[in-house]
Amino acid sequence: QKEVEQNSGPLSVPEGAIASLNCTYSDRGSQSFFWYRQYSGKSPELIMSIYSNGDKEDGRFTAQLNKASQYVSLLIRDSQPSDSATYLCAVLSGAGSYQLTFGKGTKLSVIP
């Protein structure tokens, strides 16, 4: 059974701070990793993808991957109230795999 674990939160950070969201996965053969943002009542929106060890930056977002530790994280710099949402970690196992395994999400609240 492939599992993706996230702290459910809520994670509260003050406006302007760095929010750190963490995710661990069980399938060591996983190849591709994604972060989705889901506002309440809306569908998930892809915000980051990462495929190799290390950091990947896109604007205020940085994804970090450590395959040896089976750990992926998302950092949000200069957090804004509009970042308040549930963040879903998703993992795609193996080359040619179709099935994304999702964590249950971490709810982030950015306090003005």
Partner 1 sequence: SQTIHQWPATLVQPVGSPLSLECTVEGTSNPNLYWYRQAAGRGLQLLFYSVGIGQISSEVPQNLSASRPQDRQFILSSKKLLLSDSGFYLCAWSVGFLEQYFGPGTRLTVT
Judged by DSSP in three states, 102 sits in: strand
DSSP 30-57: EEEEEEEEE-TTS--EEEEEE-SSEEEE
Q: Report the residue number, 40 or 112, with the smaller CB distance to partner 1.
A: 40
Strand (E) or helix (H) holding 64: strand 61-66
* Min CB(38)–partner 1 separation in Å: 9
* Min CB(46)–partner 1 separation in Å: 6
- Per CB under 8 A, residues contacting partner 1 are 32, 34, 36, 42-46, 49, 88, 90, 92, 96-100, 102-105
Distance CA 65, CA 110 (A): 24
Q: Report the residue number, 83 or 103, with the smaller CB distance to partner 1.
A: 103
* Min CB(94)–partner 1 separation in Å: 9
